[in-house]
Amino acid sequence: MDFEFTAEQVAIRDTIRELVQDRVAPRAAEIDARAEYPEDIEKLFAENGILGIPFPEEYGGISGSSVTICMGIEEIAKACASSSLILAVQALGSYPILVAGTEEQKKRLCPPLASGEKVAAYALSEPGSGSDAAAMKTRAKRYGNEYVLNGTKQFITHGNVAGTLVVFAKTEPGNGAKGISAFVLEKETSPWAVAKLEHKLGIRGSPTAQIVLEDVKVPVANRLGEEGAGFKLALAVLDRSRPGIGAQALGIAEGAFAYALNYVKERHQFGQAIASFQGIQFMLADIATQIEAARHLVYLAATKVDAKAPDLTKTAAMAKLFASDMAMRVTTDCVQLLGGYGYIADYPVERMMRDAKITQIYEGTNQIQRVVIARALLR
Amino acid sequence: MRELAQKVVRPLAAEVDREHRFPAEAVKAAAENGLMGVLIPREHGGAGLDALAFAICIEELARACASTAVIVDVHTSVGTEPILLFGDEEQRRRWLPRLASGELLGAFALSEPGSGSDAASLTTAARRNGDGGYVLNGTKTFITNAGRAGLYVVFARTGSVERASGVTAFLVPADAPGLRVGQVFHKMGLHGSPTGEIVLEDVALPTSNRLGAEGEGFNIAMRALDSGRIGISGQALGIAQAALDEARALMRERGHEQGDDFTLADMAARVESARLLAYHAAWLCGAGRKFTREASMSKLHCTDTAMQVAIDALQIAGEDGAIDGSPFERHVRDAKALQIYEGSNQVQRIVIARELLRAG
C-alpha cells in the first residue's frame, strides 16, 4: 500500500518542515538542556496554524485529519521530540471534545484551541492507576448544575501550561469502568493545581505534571457525553492518538538516522569513510528498513482513524507498538554509529535516544498495546 | 566486596549521577579496601589477584554505581596493567605502589579526535629532544578519569614510521608541565565519571618515562585493551544484574503477568550466559592462555546484554522508571557507553571475525 497524500497535506507538511528547520531545530539542544517548555515554539505553531491541524474548518481549524496530524508530528519530531508534543497533545486533549462533544460544546471549546490561544491536555492516569485506568479514584459529584471534582492525576503532559484540560473521574464509584465520566475543565473557571513537575530521562522540554483537583467546580455543560460514558471515550481517544505517538517515534528515528547517515559518510577511519565498511552498511540497511516498515504502519493506522475503520483499535496499537520499539532500537544504533561522539551532548543523537524511550511507555505502555492486539486477535 | 559496594557506593549512585559529581568518597573507600591494586602483586603493594577476581570486583561495584565502577576499572586495567606487564623494574617500583594504594589514579590516553576505532592512525607526536628525552604534542580525547588521574598512559608516534609500528607508550604524570585538561564532555550517562580531552603541549619526558621499546606501543595498547574488555564485561554484568534485580523486586511488589514474566526470564537467561562468557575469558587470561577472541566476545555480548536488559527493565517499570533519579533510567543511560568504549562493538566484531578467519 502506498500513501497518496493530498496536495493540501503535502503543502502543510512542507510548510512545517521549513519552519522546523529554521526555527525549531536550532533550539532543540537548548530546550533539552534547560528542560524548559518552549513557549516561543508554542507561539510559533499557533501563529502558523499548526495547532489548528487537529480541528475541522467548522471549528476554527484547518484539517481534522489524523493523517495530517501525523505528518505534522513526524516533521517536528525529526528535530525536537519535546516540541512535537505541542501538536500531539493538542490533538490528544481535543479528541475527547471532537469525538463526544455536542455541537454546542465543539463550537464553544474548539476555536480557542484551534487558534492556539489555549493549549489542551488530557488527564487519565493517576498515581495508583496507570495501565489499569478503570481503577481511578478521582471523584466527580453532582450538585445541581455543576460537578465538584476531587483527586490527583499523574503524568499529565502540559498539565501546567494547558488552558483546557479533559479530566476523567468517577461519577459512580461502585460501578468500575462504567462509573467513569469525562469533563472539560477551563482554567479560568475550573482552576486546577499543579503539585509537581517531573524530571525525566527524555522529552525534557515537555512538562509532565502531577495535578491536584480540590473541590474544582465544573458546569454540567462541560461534561462530555453521558455519565458513565467516560471510559469508553478514553479508549476511543487513545485509538485516535496512538498513531500520533507512532508518528512521533517515526520522526525521532528519522531525525537520528539522517544525522547518523551523514556522519558515517564524513567520518574517516582506516583511510576511508566508515560508511564504506560492510558492517556499518548492514546497520544502515536494517535501520532504513525498520523506519520504512514503521512509516507504513503509522500511516495505515492514521488512514483508518480518518476512515473510522472497524479494526482501528488493533492497527493503532500495532502502529504505536512497532514504531516506538523501532525508534528505541534505531536511536540506540544511531548513537552507536557516532561512537563516542554519539554519547555526548554536543551531538543530537543521544538526546534522540533518550526521547525515544518514552514512546514505548506513554499512551498505553507497549505491554498494554500487546494486550490490546492479542484481545482483538482472540475476540 | 559486595558489602562495601552496597553500603558505601550504592547510596551515592543517584546523587553522583544527578550532580555530575566525581564519587571521591566511593573511590577512597575502594582504595582503603585494596580495590585499586587488585591486579598488582603484593610486593608492589597490591592484592595480587587474577583477572577473574578483578572482573567480579568491577561487577559488584557496577551493581551499585556504574560511574564508580568505570573509574576503578580504567585505573586498574588499562591505566595500571601496562606498567605491570611492560614496565621495567624501576618503573614498577616507582609507580605501582602509588597506584595500588590509590594515591595516584590511572588513566589511558589512546583515542584522538581523528583516531578512534582506527587507533593506529594516531598523530600525537613524541620527538626526541637534545638530552635524550622526548617532547610530546597532541590532543587525546574521550579519556576516562581526565582531570582526576595522577598518571596517564599516553600513546604517541615516535619518528616517522606510519601506522601501528610507529607508536610508543609513555607514562605522563598529570602535573607534567604542558599537560592540561581540555573539554570535559557532558554525556548521556556515567555522569560521575569524567570524560575529557587531554592536551599535550611540549610535554618534556625523560626516557625513563617511556614504557617498553619505541614502536612497541600499539602492542601494549592492544594487550591492555584485551584485559580492559574483561573489566568492561564486569561493569556490564553489574549494570545488567542491578536492572534485573530492580525489575524483579518491582514485579514481586506490585504483581505481574505472563508478558512481563517472559521478559524477566529472557533478561535473567541473557545475564547468566553473559556472566559465564565473561568469567571464562577472565579465567583464560588468569591462566596465561590466549584470550583475545574470548575477551572480545565477552565485551560484545555482556555490553549488548546490559543495554537490552536495562531497556527491558525500564519498560517493565513504566513511566515511574523514566523519572530522573530512578535507577531504571540511569541504567539505560549508563549501559549505552559500554557498547562504545574500549573498542566499539563494531571493533569487537572485527576482532572476533579476524581471529575466526585467521589462517591455520
- Residues of chain A positioned with their CB less than 8 A from the CB of B307: 332
pLDDT digits (tens, 9 = 90+) for B179-202: 999 999 999 999 999 999 999 999
Hey, of A197, A277, A337, A343, which one would you mutate to test binding to chain B, going by the most B CBs within 10 A of its CB? A343
B318, B323, B339 member nearest A365 (Cβ):
B318
| More confidently predicted of B1 and A269 | A269
pLDDT digits (tens, 9 = 90+) for A61-96: 999 999 999 999 999 999 999 999 999 999 999 999
CA angle A192, A194, A197 (to 5 degrees): 155
Mean model confidence pLDDT for chain A: 96
B142, B322, B337 member nearest A357 (Cβ):
B322
Q: What is the pLDDT of residue B360?
A: 67
Query: Could you identify the residue written with the cell 484481545?
Result: A375
Q: How many CB atoms lie within 10 A of CB A176?
A: 12
- Beta carbons of B340 and A200 less than 8 Å apart: no
Give me the catalytic one of B15, B201, B342, B355: B342
pLDDT band at B133 (very low <50, low <70, confident <90, very high): very high
- Cβ distance A53 to A63 under 8 Å? yes
DSSP one-letter string for A168-205: EEESSGGGGGGGEEEEEEETTTS--EEEEE--BSS-TT
C-alpha A325/C-alpha A356 separation (Å) is 9
Which residue of chain A is at minimal alpha-carbon distance from B184?
A: A344
- Residues of chain B positioned with their CB less than 8 A from the CB of A369: none
- Residues of chain A positioned with their CB less than 8 A from the CB of B185: 343-346
C-alpha B183/C-alpha B226 separation (Å) is 28
Which residue of chain A is at minimal alpha-carbon distance from B260?
A: A367
C-alpha B334/C-alpha A123 separation (Å) is 32
User: pTM value?
Assistant: 0.90
- What percent of chain B is predicted at pLDDT more than 70? 100
pLDDT digits (tens, 9 = 90+) for B258-308: 999 999 999 999 999 999 999 999 999 999 999 999 999 999 999 999 999
Q: What is the pLDDT of residue A379?
A: 87
- Cβ distance B171 to B96 under 8 Å? no
Q: Using the CB atoms, write b or e for B107-128: b if 16+ within 10 Å.
A: bbbbbbeebbbbbbbbebbbee
Q: At what angle do helices B327-338 and A349-359 cross, to 10 degrees?
A: 140
Is the C-alpha dihedral spanning A83, A290, A367, A356 positive or negative? Answer: negative
Hey, of B260, B315, B351, which one would you mutate to test binding to chain A, going by the most A CBs within 10 A of its CB? B315
Query: Could you identify the residue written with the cell 556499518?
Result: A280
C-alpha B38/C-alpha B5 separation (Å) is 15
C-alpha A330/C-alpha A253 separation (Å) is 6
A202, A270, A366 member nearest B118 (Cβ):
A270
Q: Dihedral through CA B159, CA B160, CA B163, CA B169, nearest 10?
A: 10
Catalytic residue numbers of A read: 363
A317 reaches B (C-beta below 8 A): no
pLDDT digits (tens, 9 = 90+) for A174-230: 999 999 999 999 999 999 999 999 999 999 999 999 999 999 999 999 999 999 999
The residues facing A122 across adjacent strands are: A166
B141, B188, B346 member nearest A354 (Cβ):
B188
ipTM: 0.84
- Cβ distance B151 to B97 under 8 Å? no
Q: Is A104 exposed, middle or buried (0-12, 13-18, 19+ CB in 10 A)?
A: exposed
Q: What is the pLDDT of residue A283?
A: 96
